[in-house]
Chains A and B, each alone.
Chain A
Amino acid sequence: ETGVTQSPTHLIKTRGQQVTLRCSSQSGHNTVSWYQQALGQGPQFIFQYYREEENGRGNFPPRFSGLQFPNYSSELNVNALELDDSALYLCASSSPEGLAGVETQYFGPGTRLLVL
């Protein structure tokens, strides 16, 4: 098991509501990435935070937003929920490795969101 934790494990919301998902990084990691995994699909990159700043974003609308805190934990906020937002949301933490700086991302267990 990785040291990445996520809360809550499951969540049910209705269309139009807002949701906040939380992630605690593995000790020593300063980078957090969020992914959305729809049923039967591979995870899709939402965004990445490094030292409290967003430094990369996938093809997701602005209603998906995030925060990273000084202790490197992170939140994913989704406004105006839509039915298609139903998915497993995965958080991954990492820290730059070596000269190439291509880090390994270690994933948490995920939060399963159901939008009705």
Chain B
Amino acid sequence: AQSVAQPEDQVNVAEGNPLTVKCTYSVSGNPYLFWYVQYPNRGLQFLLKYITGDNLVKGSYGFEAEFNKSQTSFHLKKPSALVSDSALYFCAVRGYSGGGADGLTFGKGTHLIIQP
């Protein structure tokens, strides 16, 4: 079975500063990793994913994530935060078992607050 940990319930960053939202995972086999963002009263919006290849993945709205196999981490980053980046961020891992799809396993989410 797979699992995802987002160790910070909330991250506060000043506008214009770089931001990092942390994620670690546990999965048997190859990790397929995702980041989603959720705005209030909305569904989840896809940001980026890692399947294979380069460890630095670029996604929507200037976000990127760094895959680190030895540390089993997939931290979300952005060089310069915007107030509009304030939202709830979810890291997820996809697993497959016994010929069936396991779906995405999500972390509990991290509230990102960008202060003007």
Contact = CB atoms under 8 A, between A and B. Distances in A.
Interface stretch (B12-20, B63-71, B73-81, B95-103): B95-103
Interface stretch (A14-22, A35-43, A62-70, A76-84): A35-43
Interface of B: 4, 32, 34, 36, 42-46, 49, 51-52, 90, 92, 94, 100-109
| Chain B at the A interface: SS class | strand
B44 A107 contact: yes
A102 B30 CA distance: 11
A46 B95 CA distance: 14
Interface of A: 2, 4, 6, 33, 35, 40-48, 50, 55-58, 90, 92, 100, 102, 104-110
A45 B109 CA distance: 15
Contact of A44 (B44, B49, B101, B106): B106
